[in-house]
Amino acid sequence: RNDRFLFMRLVEEIARSVRTKQILSVIMIDIDHFKNYNDTLGHLAGDQALITVANVLKKAAREEDIVCRFGGEEFCAILPNTSYEQSFTVSERFRSMIEKTNFYREEVQPGGQLTCSLGVASLSDDSQSSKDLIEMADQALYHSKKTGRNRSTHYVELNSSTDSKTI
């Protein structure tokens, strides 16, 4: 797991955002039904899928974004100077690019393709710590999973209305 690196960089980026009064967002990314893919096709295919997802995320990210594997089939992206609206756009770019990527024998997956669910959170008065920000993005990710997978949800939408902003 790279969570030590992630939290170290997130603490640095939060401090910079607070100091410069700029927004910061985080995206949690989880491969949908990864256990099925790994169990059906084997660990070598699962490892290759993780590498492919990592490469897609790096390609879709901006130069200033920090993308790393969080653990298992989860990834995290730290987006400096990125607003709520911009972070949702980046999240949807990640989701769409993964959905359009051809993975080895992805037809074994429910729906016939390998997809990801994403949760987005932005630094605010409610979240000034790295732990809070990750927890908020994780709650949004869980909502994406619970409401159909292969979608993005921003944390702020979970509390502002009963209809979250999902696609």
* CA 24 to mean position of chain CA atoms: 14
Mark out the alpha helices in 21-112 (DSSP H runs). Answer: 34-41, 43-60, 84-100
Catalytic choice (12, 13, 64, 73): 73
Distance CA 80, CA 83 (A): 9
Q: Is position 73 annotated as part of the catalytic site?
A: yes
Q: What is the token pair recorded at 37?
A: 């893919």
Report the SS3 class of residue 22: coil
Q: Catalogue the active-site residues.
A: 73
